[in-house]
Chain A
């Protein structure tokens, strides 16, 4: 099932890349100078969230599930990995919530929560990769 693994890793790359980008995009909303600039910026942010990051996440998680079901992989490291993926998914959902907030209050500065979210995502991704590559237990 190499094609399934290839699909999984490709989707994971798209997901992680866009999830690192989204907090920066959201933090940039408040710095828009004109109404038309704000409108365009919000449209791009929504597009990245709804048409790229989340579909990539859905494909990544579903194909990853197919990988461990077909390979009959049940190890404690996989359970630990999925637990960290749950935390990543929660970060992704919080990004969605922040995006909704910037739609209702676009000029409210949200830099600090965005920096914290970005840092959490940037720590989680290498931690997940480390677990998969080293399979510590």
Chain B
């Protein structure tokens, strides 16, 4: 086993695409919990609309960022050989499935607020925490996409 950093193939001028994109959907989907709680406390329909957009953009952005991550997982042998990389992908796809259902729930009933939406937001946030821990471990523990030459 080598201690050399693992180079990402899905990168622009040496900058890996997946970590560039993933912060936005993570922020949207964690913000969704805040928007839902704000609606519960204020009953202001503004927060229901914010929730619809956060769930939609979080899901779409997550799937896009996930495609870049999937590219690295499939194409880079040293990432493919990491058990933690597959576990990270698995948790991420489960998170996105929940976030997509959360968006659909709000899209079908754009004016109302469904308590199931808050439940899905909380479950998504819990999964994001675990997925992010695994993703962070890949960067800080296995040096994926890290450049130490300069």
Contact = CB atoms under 8 A, between A and B. Distances in A.
Interface of A: 46, 49-50, 54, 57-58, 61-62, 64-65, 68-69, 72, 74, 76, 78-79, 82-83, 85-86, 89, 92-93, 96-97, 99-100
Contacts of B17: none
A74 B83 contact: no
A30 B120 CA distance: 40
A96 B86 contact: yes
* Interface hub of B81, B91, B104, B105 (most chain A Cβ within 10 A): B104
A93 B101 contact: no
Contact of B101 (A62, A68, A89): A68
A79 B97 contact: no
Contacts of B98: 82, 86
A100 B83 contact: yes
Contacts, number: 72
Given A54-B89, A62-B93, A79 B84 contact: no
Interface in B71-118: 80-81, 83-84, 86-87, 89-91, 93-94, 96-98, 100-101, 104-105, 108, 116
Nearest to B108: A74
B108 A93 contact: no
B87 A93 contact: yes
Interface in B107-134: 108, 116, 119-120, 123, 127, 130
A49 B86 contact: yes
Contacts of A85: 94, 97
Given A54-B86, A58-B90, A92-B90, A78 B101 contact: yes
Main secondary structure of the interface of B (DSSP, over half): helix
A96 B83 contact: yes
B119 A79 contact: yes
Q: Give the top 7 A-B pairs by smallest Cβ distance, nearest first.
A: A54-B86, A65-B97, A96-B87, A89-B94, A61-B93, A93-B87, A74-B105
Interface residues of B, number: 25
Contacts of A92: 87, 90
A54 B96 CA distance: 16
Contacts of B89: 54, 58
Contacts of A93: 87, 90-91, 130
B86 A65 contact: no
Contacts of A69: 100, 104
Contacts of B94: 61, 85-86, 89
A50 B123 contact: no
Nearest to A64: B97
Contact of B84 (A76, A82, A83, A96): A96
